[in-house]
Amino acid sequence: MNRTRVKQLLKHGAIAVNGRAITQHDHPLRPGDAVTVHREGLVPKPAKTVDVVYEDDSIIVIEKPTGLLSVANETEKDDTAFTRLVARGPVRPWVVHRIDRETSGLLLFAKSREIRDQLQADWDGVTKTYLAVVEGTPEHAAGAVDNFLCEGRDLRVRQVSAGPGAKRAVTHYKVLRSRGPYSLLEVRLETGRKHQIRVHLSGLGYPITGDKMYRAKTDLADRLGLHAWRLALAHPVSGVRVELESPLPKALKWVVDGGIS
């Protein structure tokens, strides 16, 4: 079988390891692994897809589901938002930013290295707004957190004093509504540090539901209550303002609305 045919099989999920479709040519094999290659004429299992919110010749914005990595890490290389876009084709995506695995919502990719570099250079001008379902009702209807964060060896991020390894983090929040023991907050990032929203809201005493890492006591939606809601930016080519929105997932809407539309 020639290289082109192998690439096609990988792209369409026709090669599996231990029953799981593999799309990467460098997937490691271990003793005892069972490798399956679909024969000609058989229809392979459809590759997992992504929901595209916006696309043009320069950028593509998808709606990332909760539980899916933005890009690969040491333990998961085969099924990420990036690999799903690669499988979708025909243009190779370039990673502009990331959102946590447990967070759902809008994720931006570029269609060339040059566009990616331009977007990242102008990233401070991009407005990133989230919706967070938290435990409790904040004392103030709106506010901001401005401090320093540092990631420990245990991969937890903590609020620290200014110093070596500490990075300034600024988060703005506004209470949209409350129902019983939960509140829905609009959260705007001024900086983009790892776990920034999760750490800041927990530090205020209002952890995001489902976030056991940062002191949440409940998990009614069986997921992290954080959603990348809105993304607004100047288009890297035309300069025209692009404003995109992803609705709050039903599982989170139920927590704060009791199922009311």
* Domains of the chain, first to last: 1-46 (3.10.290), 48-257 (3.30.2350.10)
**Which structure tokens are listed for 136?**
């409790």
Q: Which residues contact 45 (CB under 8 A, 6 or more apart)?
A: 13, 21
Q: What is the pLDDT of residues 84-119, one digit of tens each?
A: 999 888 889 999 999 999 999 999 999 999 999 999
Q: What is the mean pLDDT of residues 234-243?
A: 97
The CA-based dihedral angle spanning residues 45, 48, 51, 52, taken in that order and rounded to the nearest 10 degrees: -90
**pLDDT bracket for residue 220 (50, 70, 90):** confident
The model's pLDDT over 166-205, given as tens digits with 9 standing for 90+, comes to 999 999 999 999 988 999 999 999 999 999 999 999 999 9
What SS3 class is residue 215? coil
- pLDDT > 50? residue 160: yes
Query: What is the average pLDDT across 154-177?
Result: 96
* Residue 41 confidence (pLDDT) above 50: no
Would you please indicate which residues are annotated as catalytic (active-site) residues?
100
Residue 34 half-sphere exposure toward CB, CA atoms < 13 A = 5
Name the average pLDDT for the chain.
92
Provide the 3-class DSSP secondary structure of residue 64: strand
Provide φ and ψ at 5, rounded to 5°.
-65, -40
